[in-house]
Amino acid sequence: MPDQTIQLRERLSYLGLAALTLLATYFCASLAAMALAYLSDHQLARATVPLLCGTTLVTALIVLLLPRANWRRVGLGGGAGRGVLLGLVMGIVSCGSLVLLALSLGWAEPVPIEAEALRFDLRATPMLGLGLLAVSATAEELFARGLLLQCLARAVGPVGAVVLTSAGFAALHGANPGITALATCNTALFGAIFGVAVFRQRSLWLATGLHFGWNVTQTALGVNISGITIRLSDLNLRLGQPEWVTGGDYGFEGGLLATGMALALLAIVWRLPAPAASEPMLWDAPREDRSVVATGLGGIDRAAGGEPGGSAGEREDGEADAGAAGSADSRPER
């Protein structure tokens, strides 16, 4: 019973920390948005930079104050180059394949750009546009799959954490123009892909690269991103009938083409080999609940010592125990 009480108390504390992270990020992002309104009139910057500022500040504060937290534990450890590059290639290839398929089947056609219909016209500054798209992907991943996902995984388990953050990711896009039930489901499915990528690879890098690669390919090839009209070049594609397959004006995320591609990406992410050097993560079980195996996704089951060599939490506890024993042995007898 005492062990169960400790586990329940810790789960509730992490659930409370997740709620605090959510509220604090909203507050800080709102302040950043108000400040940026006086500094810049660039609409895409004002739509993306505040979330990155807010979630970075909140993550930094919690890393500073929470004993078990550090930047590596929230998913920003080693392997950035490999993870981002692999995700970028996966995003470009998967989205590019949908464009080629739609063109070959007559479901998409090039049309002239109507500048007044664009929400974000970045054709004159494509490099700035690429940078802001990277900011957007990074901000959304750090917010939804960083500290928030980690705390929820400790509170409700990995499957529950992926479900909750995927639903929240879909809710972030709930006010986008032309949103439909299928588009909402597809957005949640992509959120699940990113969440599984974090658990399997024990970092945010693959998810961030995949998110950025998917978005930038749609933008570069003239397809709307979740109902948002952003263009980096003069390429412009209209996704035609049937819209429940292509997504229509909402973009690929509104149709079954994206559903099929998302399921394929989910399978690929699941099958990707884990990194050779396993990073300790915030979700790893500490001493008091190492006997509870949080199974279901990627490296989570390793947190409870499910594999030879034990978990990161066990290794840390073992190192602490060894250090304490060494100190005790080194004391002179009285």
40-76 pLDDT, tens digit each: 888 889 989 999 999 999 999 998 988 878 888 888 8
Residue 226 domain flag: yes
Tell me which residue of 267, 275, 271, 307 sits closest to 290, measured CA to CA: 307
Given a contact cutoff of 8 angstroms between Cβ atoms, the answer to whether 139 and 52 are in contact is: yes
Under the banding of pLDDT at 50, 70 and 90, the label for residue 232 is confident
Tell me which residue of 83, 82, 320, 87 sits closest to 216, measured CA to CA: 87
Token pair in block for residue 277: 């050097």
Buried b (16+ CB within 10 A) or exposed e, 226-256: bbbbbbbeeebbebeeebebbbbbbbbbbbe
Q: Report d(CA 285, CA 199) in Å as an integer.
A: 14
Pure H helices in the chain: 2-39, 43-65, 80-104, 126-142, 148-156, 158-172, 181-201, 205-220, 243-246, 256-271, 312-330
The mean-pLDDT minimum among 68-72, 123-127, 134-138, 201-205 falls in 68-72
- In the chain, the number of structural domains is 1
Token pair in block for residue 235: 């390429």
Task: Read off the DSSP letter of residue 306.
Answer: -
Residue 306 domain flag: no
Residue 317 domain flag: no
The mean-pLDDT minimum among 49-53, 87-91, 200-204, 325-329 falls in 325-329
State the burial class of residue 113 (Cβ atoms within 10 Å of its Cβ: 0-12, 13-18, 19+). middle
| Domain around 123 | 2-283
Residue 237 domain flag: yes
CA dihedral defined by 233, 235, 241, 243, rounded to 10 degrees?
-10
Given a contact cutoff of 8 angstroms between Cβ atoms, the answer to whether 216 and 130 are in contact is: yes
Query: Partners of 225 in the beta sheet?
Result: 228
263-297 residue pLDDT tens: 999 999 999 988 776 677 887 765 434 443 333 34
pLDDT of residue 286: 57
pLDDT of residue 8: 80
Q: Report d(CA 191, CA 185) in Å as an integer.
A: 10
Report whether pLDDT(150) > 50.
yes
Confidence (pTM): 0.82
Report whether pLDDT(302) > 50.
no
Residue 120 domain flag: yes
Query: Partners of 109 in the beta sheet?
Result: 238
